[in-house]
Structure 1
Amino acid sequence: MTIRLPLLLLLFLIANTATAQQCDSVFLGTKTLYTQPKNTTVKIPDGYKAVFVNYVGRHGARHLTKAPSSAYVYQLIAKADSAKALTVLGQQLKKMVLALDKVEKGNTKNISTEGVTELMGIASRLYQNNSAVFADRPRVTVTVTKEIRTRQSADAFLKGLQPLLRNQTIIEKGINDTTLRFYDLSPGYLDFEKNGSWIKIVDDLKNYLSIAELNTRVTARFFTADFTKTISAANQSQFVNDFFGFATIVYSLNQEVKQAGFSNHDLSFQSFFTCDELATLSRIDVAEDFFTKGPGADINGIQVKIAAPLLADFLKTTDSFVAGKKIVANLRFSHAETISPFAALLGLNRSDKVGTYIQLINKNWESAKVIPLSANVQWILYKNNTGGYLLRCLLNEKDAAIAGLKPVYPNFYAWPEVKKYYLNKLKSIGAPLSGNMLSYLKTLK
């Protein structure tokens, strides 16, 4: 089918609207790059010094988890190309997807250069702010999940930390999916992901935002009218989702894009969308994260309770240090699905705020602020000469208030009170205070 010049001009203008409007990067959601927090001065109570660190972090900025050539968007473009059903914009998108496939060859599932830089920076600041913890030949544990990007993240973190250490560090490494990939180990949670009541809420949001119409409108830019009619609504949705995923991932790949011989313009997938379309698609992503990884409509729901093994581990390891154990830092590297429910369970800042009004989700909870790439939660334990302990809690390196618990100094909580508070919380959600946490996960409903 021949496309008339006015239509081509319209498509060109639509495709370049996002660039002309200079859309910001708010739409990136969980693929938002980690940013160093602004320097702030926090007064440490007189007589106290940092002695112990409990850390859990998301992996750094990463590549795609599968090659672009295996995605539905590629398959549909290839099919349309064979049928001579690609528009001018479709040809441009095909070229861009092939370029991304070249960038990603051999790199899928890995963290990117950007991710290494993020984690090295966090490690350096952790040391600079708590150097006393790492004196006297420190013992450090490093725990990861089965995914290679968490091992690479641990290596990058240590790359930033170890050159700063003056004494030999004893590092113990291991894998613990029970405390770090709990969301994969609970049959009840897996069923919640597929069949939970949150699905209807998100569907209502999609209807409110006219997502079906958006999918058709976007899809039609790349294929002839006759070919577009053959693409089902479900396949249009898959096409746009894949396409939007490409638009969000390239922000993590700046160095790799250059190494492959391309410029950022060559991979500007976002330029095919308008700013409003990017914002709308992002709202859906945020809503799904909010209900399946965050507080959702119930702060005591299964999507939060699954983080109990990690909270129990934080309590146990902190208490072990107080009891005289020699490990001074526990470093864990995990995923967004780990950090978000953990922050909600801890009640940090607004990460535990529930909501059901679909228009307000992005105001109550923003994935870009809770779980950007390299997101982290840090417990820093301080001790004075009389054996008193204070705990400082940070979310993404910023002091975080614990909902329901009063600090004894600004940003500092008495450790015995923190321990009591969270033990009671574990008890209230039915988590065992000792025993097999894996069994607990399997009984969740």
Structure 2
Amino acid sequence: MKIHKISILFFSLISSLSVYGQTTQQEMFDEIEKTGGVYYVYQAPEKESLTAAPKGYTPFYISHYSRHGSRYLISDKDYKWVIDLFAKAHEQQALTPLGEDVYTRLTKIWPEAEGRGGDLTPLGRRQHQGIAQRMFRNYPEVFTDGRKISARSTVVLRCAMSMAAFGDQLKGMNPKLDITYEASEKYMNYMNFHTDESNKFTSDQTGPWVEEYKKFEAEHTRPERLMNTLFSNADFIRKQVNPHNLMWGLYWITSDMQDMETRVSFYDIFEKQELFDLWQCINYKFYVGNANHADGKGIVVANAKALLRNILESADQALQDPSIAATLRFGHDGNVIPLAAILRLNDCNVAVNQPEEVYKVWSDYKIVPMAGNIQIIFYRNKEDRVLVKFLLNEKEARIPLDTDQYPYYDWNKVKSYYTNLLDR
């Protein structure tokens, strides 16, 4: 039995490393959309790949936290200042043929983007509908007539809209489900919590990592080639263009196009190495701001303690009340990332501190693409023993506990493990 247990743990480790281990430059080049990082479109499972439950076990409860679905750039001005700059260059005949073509493309996306800064896109709604549909089909025993579902979101509209899309899909599949929806400040103390100590560390103005980052960003942002392909007038560049800022502005628009309905692309104006380098910068910033940067000594991951406590308390309620089917939560990338770390899912808690090393061990798009989510599926047998399975973006994930039934873990051991983490 001991040898069997070790073998299962070994092979589960190897299989998960293939997904969440080192990211290579070639991987990014092969699917350039990944350089969008947190703007990467959610990848639904291509086929059923979930491990069957151990004999005699039936799913009865699901605990869940999801990032909102695909959205537009945070503000209209993130599009508008770039469009206005190209409009001025167009008027002054300072654009190359490629620059004119880029300007035309920018004008095509504005009708969709205008007035929608930060909003959920139609694709974002479809993502949550799809996740809900697969959840219902994979665990039909959970969603039987009359069972109760608590759905809560942060007070940000795109999160509430994601919650509505998810819940409406479940309700459409079984109209007899009892779903309550809430988006309230009352729950923000665990739905989107950050300590003052954490905010001080992650500040991009005064954080202890900022000077090193500035040098790293300067080394990885090389806009000269791009500017010369877009603008034909060196005097216009000198007087009107901040090449560094424009390169980043175009990067964000380029990255977000995969989340929009308008079928326009800007990948052709960049070299793949340029996109990879820009992504390294933003990937590092998300790592500092939300994950387990070694210099932070766990203070950022600790932001998820209140959420983890809610998960444990909600599970206790579901174990005592057979009418409870699911607890659904909808928030942001800055909530899913530390939750994945504090749960110790796969390699999400890895701790490094050198900017150039981060992408090799931690990648934002693998944890929080648009609609990125964590699910904990609870199973019970006739002897009332409870097992749980963890899913990260609908893929089975490991945690650092022994089990001879991977990906299933004994709930009592899991609860004890996380309770001890909360007490540290």
> Is this a same-fold pair by TM over 0.5?
yes
Note the alpha carbon deviations across 1:17-36, whole angstroms, 9 max, x for none: xxxx9873221211111112
2:358 corresponds to 1:361 = yes
Which residues in structure 2 correspond to 1:76-155 (within 5 Å)? 76-81=85-90, 83-155=92-164
2:33 — aligned with what? 25
CA-CA distance at 1:78 after TM superposition:
4.1
| More displaced stretch, 51-60 vs 215-224 | 215-224
Note the alpha carbon deviations across 1:359-399, whole angstroms, 9 max, x for none: 33212011111111110000111111122111111111111
Once residues 155 and 215 of structure 1 are traced to their aligned partners in structure 2, the CA distance between those partners, rounded to angstroms, is 42
2:9 — aligned with what? none
2:292 — aligned with what? 295
SS in 1 for 2:384: coil
CA-CA distance at 1:239 after TM superposition:
1.6
Once residues 143 and 36 of structure 2 are traced to their aligned partners in structure 1, the CA distance between those partners, rounded to angstroms, is 36
Count of matched residue positions in the alignment of Structure 1 and Structure 2: 390
CA-CA distance at 1:415 after TM superposition:
1.2
Once residues 77 and 101 of structure 2 are traced to their aligned partners in structure 1, the CA distance between those partners, rounded to angstroms, is 15
SS in 2 for 1:302: coil
Once residues 83 and 339 of structure 2 are traced to their aligned partners in structure 1, the CA distance between those partners, rounded to angstroms, is 36
SS in 2 for 1:122: helix
CA-CA distance at 1:189 after TM superposition:
3.0
CA gap of 1:165–1:86, structure 2 versus 1, over 3 A, is same
2:410 — aligned with what? 414
1:440 — aligned with what? none
Once residues 198 and 326 of structure 1 are traced to their aligned partners in structure 2, the CA distance between those partners, rounded to angstroms, is 48
2:218 corresponds to 1:218 = no
2:33·2:258 contact (CA, 8 Å) conserved in 1?
no
2:381 — aligned with what? 384
1:432 — aligned with what? none
CA-CA distance at 1:84 after TM superposition:
4.5
Q: Percent identity?
A: 27
2:249 corresponds to 1:242 = yes
SS in 2 for 1:287: helix
CA RMSD of aligned residues (A): 2.3
CA gap of 1:23–1:304, structure 2 versus 1, over 3 A, is closer
SS in 2 for 1:134: coil
CA gap of 1:188–1:149, structure 2 versus 1, over 3 A, is same
| More displaced stretch, 160-169 vs 311-320 | 160-169
Once residues 196 and 92 of structure 2 are traced to their aligned partners in structure 1, the CA distance between those partners, rounded to angstroms, is 44
1:401 — aligned with what? 398
| More displaced stretch, 352-361 vs 272-281 | 352-361
TM-score using structure 2 length: 0.85
Once residues 227 and 275 of structure 1 are traced to their aligned partners in structure 2, the CA distance between those partners, rounded to angstroms, is 26
The gaps in structure 1 that reach 5 residues or longer are: 1-20, 258-263, 429-445
CA gap of 1:117–1:334, structure 2 versus 1, over 3 A, is same
Once residues 327 and 138 of structure 1 are traced to their aligned partners in structure 2, the CA distance between those partners, rounded to angstroms, is 6
CA-CA distance at 1:53 after TM superposition:
0.7
The gaps in structure 2 that reach 5 residues or longer are: 1-28
Amino acid across the alignment from 1:236: P
2:42 — aligned with what? 34
1:408·1:414 contact (CA, 8 Å) conserved in 2?
no
Once residues 156 and 35 of structure 1 are traced to their aligned partners in structure 2, the CA distance between those partners, rounded to angstroms, is 18
Which of 165, 179, 192 is the matching residue for 2:174? 165
2:151·2:179 contact (CA, 8 Å) conserved in 1?
no
CA-CA distance at 1:356 after TM superposition:
2.6
4+ residue runs of structure 1 moved beyond 6 angstroms? none
Once residues 399 and 60 of structure 2 are traced to their aligned partners in structure 1, the CA distance between those partners, rounded to angstroms, is 21
| More displaced stretch, 85-94 vs 37-46 | 85-94
CA-CA distance at 1:215 after TM superposition:
2.3
1:30·1:373 contact (CA, 8 Å) conserved in 2?
yes
| More displaced stretch, 29-38 vs 81-90 | 81-90
Which of 257, 262, 277 is the matching residue for 1:280? 277
2:370 — aligned with what? 373
Amino acid across the alignment from 2:259: S
Once residues 402 and 212 of structure 2 are traced to their aligned partners in structure 1, the CA distance between those partners, rounded to angstroms, is 34
Which residues in structure 2 correspond to 1:179-190 (within 5 Å)? 179-183=190-194, 186-190=195-199
Amino acid across the alignment from 1:219: M
| More displaced stretch, 382-391 vs 49-58 | 382-391
Note the alpha carbon deviations across 1:315-374, whole angstroms, 9 max, x for none: 110112123364221111111111111101111001111223433321201111111111
1:67·1:101 contact (CA, 8 Å) conserved in 2?
no
2:419 — aligned with what? 423
Amino acid across the alignment from 1:348: L
